[in-house]
Amino acid sequence: MFERKSGILLVAGLIFFAFAFLSNAVVPALMYSHLPEKTAEELVNGNIRYQFEDLARRYPEAFVAAFGQPPEDPETKEGTDWWNQNVADALREGRSIYVGEGCWHCHSQFVRPVSNEEQRWGPVAASWEYQNELQRPVMFGTRRVGPDLSREGGRRSNDWHAVHFFKPTMVSHKSPMPEYPWLFDGSPSKPTRRGMALMTYVQWLGSWLESYPDYEAYTQAPLEELKKEAAEAAEAAPAG
């Protein structure tokens, strides 16, 4: 058997290969068969909806040019469907840009239970988080030149991401990350559809967790009041 063609073709070529495939690929697939694969539409949640609507507020013209005019009333069934469908489309598109630009070669998407990673990034990765169409193939990653991104969503604002994608060193002084100006129309304040899709994807990462930073409770800084107070103080000062 060991030096015959049949032994080499059947035993080494086919049987050993099949044994490895069964034990190393079919077994985990069966083990997770009770977790159905979610579609991008099913992945839309409040957090990512918030981030996506935030894009529309921050870059109104670019947003309308990229995704069309949002419906007047987001509370109606029609309005909700419009937003959710666009978030799902942006997620799919953002993921394909994330893959096509090779982001996953320098950023991982799983937090390990060792090396103090829980403290740096948050909860350890769990299987159910990856059972969706955006993880086909899975974006675990094998190298971290930059930090892990699986808990990146909500940590930074869309503005930060826009500037960072445009020219990383503007916000992260020594970053070796490449620049991606082709995701913009010449300036960080004018992201294209691709740029906004990628931001949506990054803001989605970890949006399914309770530890997602709670931006919904965020209230605008009382800039106008502060200005008024400062003006009043300035007026009062020479008199006093």
Partner 1 sequence: MSEATETQTHDHKDLVDEKIVMAYFFMALTFMLVSMLGGLLMAGQLLRHNPLSGIELFSPGRWRMIHTNAIAYGFLANAFLGLLHWSIPRLTLHPVLDKRLSWLIFAAWQIVVLATAAGLLFGQAQGLEWGETPVWIDPVAQLGLLLVAINFMPPILKVKGPMYVTLWYFLAMFIWTFLTYAMGNFVPEYFVSGTSAGAVGGLFIHDLVGLFVTPLGWGLMYYFVPIILKKPIWSHGLSLVGFWGLAFFYPLNGIHHFLYTPIPMFLQYGAIISTIAVEMVVTTVIINFFGTLWGRGRAVVEDLPIRWFYTGMVFYFLTCLQCAMQTTLTFQALIHFTDWVVGHAHLVMYGVFSQWIFGMMTYLIPRIWKTEWYSRKALEYHYWLSAAGVFIMASDLILCGLFQGWSWASLQPWEHSINVSFPFWVVRVFAGLAMFAGLLVFLWNIWMTWKTREEVELSNVALPA
Q: How many residues bind partner 1 (CB under 8 A)?
A: 76
* Gap between the Cα atoms of 193 and 181, Å rounded: 13
Q: Does residue 165 touch partner 1 according to CB under 8 A?
A: no
Q: Which is nearer to partner 1, 44 or 134 (CB)?
A: 134
Q: Does residue 238 touch partner 1 according to CB under 8 A?
A: no
Rounded to a whole number of angstroms, the CA Rg of the chain reads 24
Choose one: 55-63, 156-164, 175-183, 223-231; the region binding partner 1 (CB under 8 A): 175-183
Contacts of partner 1 in 66-105 (CB under 8 A): 97, 99-105
Contacts of partner 1 in 121-140 (CB under 8 A): 125-127, 129-133, 135-140
Q: Does residue 9 touch partner 1 according to CB under 8 A?
A: yes
Sign of the Cα torsion 201, 203, 205, 210 reads negative
Q: Considering only residues 112, 216, 231, 232, which one is a binding residue for partner 1 as defined by CB under 8 A?
A: 112
Give least dist CB 98 to partner 1, A. Answer: 8
Give least dist CB 92 to partner 1, A. Answer: 13
Q: Does residue 145 touch partner 1 according to CB under 8 A?
A: yes
Burial of 196 (0-12, 13-18, 19+ CB in 10 A): buried
Contact 76, 180 (CB under 8 A): no
Q: Does residue 24 touch partner 1 according to CB under 8 A?
A: yes
Q: Using the CB atoms, write b or e for 71-108: b if 16+ within 10 Å.
A: eeeeeeeeeeebbbebbbbbbbbbbebbeebebbebbb
Give least dist CB 95 to partner 1, A. Answer: 8
Q: Does residue 186 touch partner 1 according to CB under 8 A?
A: no
Q: Which residues contact 66 (CB under 8 A, 6 or more apart)?
A: 192, 193, 196
